[in-house]
Chains A and B, each alone.
Chain A
């Protein structure tokens, strides 16, 4: 069995090599490394732009003028303008913006908070409370409540924005490479008649599929060992990183096999593979917006892959999370591989 498996693996590696797959994976890793190091800035913020107009000229005007001098807004994202119309005009040119107009009311100042219209109620309440809090602090109210930091000894806050996207590339290129590529392998061998010839050989379906999946794992390793040292360095948790990439490759390759088993050729399968790839990429939203992690995204196989890779690269000593990631991915890998074997056995019988 192992001899047949290694023989198939050698054949697949040669096939991938001759079709420049190793070259493409390596070049893509180098391109991503170049983008991360030289193009993506170290600081990216998605904070909204703020347009501000103060027409209040009465008592406590100085206090109100300082309400938005929170450190967040001492930046190029804060724009002081000359009229309410200019606030609205600035906002209309930029969907990610808010407007603040301060004016006199009948008995006390009025702060008009201008939104686009799609913002939810908690966002509006948060802006209001931030401004009110700043007002109180300007008048000397500086009480802070005790904050307990669970992992104070770790320097985990200083991940640059460009490095923080490395897990995204590792998930999509190292772990998910099999989802698209393995289908191409299968259809190519089907067209060449290799699949049919294999049926009359002593080889079994699990060995055949395992060899293909092993090639995807190797491609994932190649991408990882090129990208990570060039971007993060060599001082990462290599063992968990390689384990997660390996298990992720098994899951994604098996899923790719299952999707491809329903179709006769790559042209039919490619539209669903693209759609599947988009769905599997949804956890990236939770990665960039940590407060958004609904159950249907957490259930995606790529969710533990993405956050497991992040933990391996930028460790917080969360060994419990790494163990849980191994268990989830191992279970998914076994399940999806078994399903892939069953679907391919049925397909071969049908053909």
Chain B
């Protein structure tokens, strides 16, 4: 136990001395602050229209209800704008005073169809009168906020593992690792001592992210449990990269390959329908993603969370058993 704590202390002092600890705290803090500023503008994204000033203030005001409006003085300016990157519909009038819509030709369906509807609404009386009522369910957290938060949380958890991995590679290059083999420190003591910082730091980072993003009204015990268990995945990644890589360049090469395996299931969880998620069950990041999604949306109870945690632990264990020998050889060579 004393040797484990000693290795942990050595890691901690080394991190403090190299400012690594500070960077590991600053990075999620800055990203969370950036995300906090990014989210409102992302949530206010809407259709865009380039209007000729000559169509009149009334029409311009009407279009402003349905998206972002840019005003231009001539049709040539509108054409130049429409030809630029991004979906934007140009609105103008011909010499006979009839409205015209200008499109590049590669816009999405809404950019094509919505200006027609707005112009019809402006120019004619409604044939069928109905009353409209708007109701809100009270969910103020948009999908961008939820998924942005989860990606950030996953990043900081995995970043801890990557730092451990590159630290191991550095020790291999400096032959510190070889020196440990003639010390009384056993392999498991070394692994546990190295892992402590990768287990404790992400907990603090995740809470910091949730606090900055204003997502503090969730079950914090669930957050703690999920974060602690997810660090096992990060540690596996770290020890795998550290174990199989002989130098930093090899570490980066392995990191690229491993990252693909970790990120793709999360993208799949977002894009694929629920019935196809069975193809993602092999990935630890899938279980972490769905657990945090349930926690933030408050749609998960302890029983469902334990299924996610079980899935995560099972996949990490299987991966560990498959890679154990390779990692062991890499750490002692």
Contacts and interface: CB of A to CB of B under 8 A. Distances in A.
Do the two chains belong together in a single complex? yes
Interface of A: 15-16, 19-21, 24, 27-28, 31, 35, 44, 60, 63-64, 72, 88, 91-93, 95-96, 99, 105, 108-118, 120-126, 128-130, 132-133, 135-136, 138-141, 143-152, 154, 156-157, 180-181, 184-185, 187-188, 191, 264-268, 270-272, 274-275, 278-279, 282, 285-286, 289-294, 307, 316, 318, 320-321
B139 A116 contact: yes
Contacts of B114: 126, 129-130
Contacts of B112: 147
B105 A122 contact: no
Given A122-B47, A188-B248, A271-B163, A318 B83 contact: yes
Most buried by B among A92, A115, A133, A264: A133
A292 B42 contact: yes
Contacts of B88: 291
Contacts of B119: 145
A299 to B, nearest CB: 13
Nearest to A293: B86
A141 B105 CA distance: 25
A146 B98 contact: yes
B303 interface: no
B116 A144 contact: yes
Contacts of A130: 114, 117
Interface in B106-130: 106-112, 114-121, 124, 126-130
A268 B18 contact: yes
B74 interface: no
B133 interface: yes
Contacts of B19: 268
B27 interface: yes
27 contacts: A93-B299, A122-B46, A122-B66, A125-B65, A126-B110, A126-B114, A129-B66, A135-B130, A136-B126, A136-B127, A136-B128, A138-B128, A145-B99, A146-B101, A148-B101, A150-B83, A150-B102, A180-B256, A181-B249, A188-B248, A266-B251, A271-B24, A271-B159, A272-B27, A275-B27, A275-B30, A291-B45
A181 B252 contact: yes
A121 B45 CA distance: 11
B43 A118 contact: yes
A136 B264 CA distance: 45
Contacts of A289: 45
Contacts of B132: 110-113, 128
A120 B74 CA distance: 30
A212 B18 CA distance: 26
B271 A154 contact: no
A109 B130 contact: yes
B103 interface: yes
B77 interface: no
B182 interface: no
A142 to B, nearest CB: 9
B208 to A, nearest CB: 14
**Which are the 8 A-B pairs with shortest beta-carbon distances?**
A292-B45, A290-B87, A118-B142, A116-B139, A133-B117, A184-B252, A117-B136, A151-B105
B326 interface: no
Interface stretch (B50-58, B166-174, B221-229, B306-314): B166-174
Contact of B260 (A28, A117, A285, A321): A28
A275 B249 contact: no
B200 interface: no
Contacts of A185: 249
Contacts of B143: 95-96
B133 A120 contact: no
Given A63-B128, A267-B163, A285-B42, A157 B260 contact: no
Interface of B: 18-20, 23-24, 27, 30-31, 34, 38, 41-48, 65-68, 79, 82-88, 94, 98-112, 114-121, 124, 126-143, 145-146, 155, 159, 162-163, 166-167, 169-170, 173-174, 247-253, 255-257, 260, 264, 271, 297, 299
Contact of A191 (B23, B30, B38, B173): B173
Contacts of B260: 28, 31
A31 B257 CA distance: 10
B1 to A, nearest CB: 26
Given A110-B133, A126-B114, A271 B86 contact: no
Contacts of A117: 136-140
Given A146-B98, A150-B82, A278-B31, A109 B131 contact: yes
B47 A126 contact: yes
Contact of B105 (A125, A267, A316): A316
Contacts of A27: 257
A154 B24 contact: no
Most buried by B among A95, A108, A279: A95
A145 B93 CA distance: 10
Given A19-B247, A108-B129, 17 more contacts: A19-B253, A20-B253, A72-B109, A111-B130, A118-B140, A118-B142, A121-B65, A140-B127, A143-B124, A150-B82, A150-B104, A150-B105, A181-B249, A191-B174, A266-B166, A266-B251, A286-B86
A132 B128 CA distance: 8
Nearest to A114: B135
A291 B87 contact: yes
B166 A118 contact: no
A148 B89 CA distance: 10
A272 B256 CA distance: 16
B131 A291 contact: no
A35 B30 CA distance: 33
Contacts of A271: 20, 23-24, 27, 159, 163
Given A108-B130, A112-B135, A266-B251, A291 B106 contact: no
B246 to A, nearest CB: 8
A316 B85 CA distance: 11
Contacts of B173: 191
B31 A290 contact: no
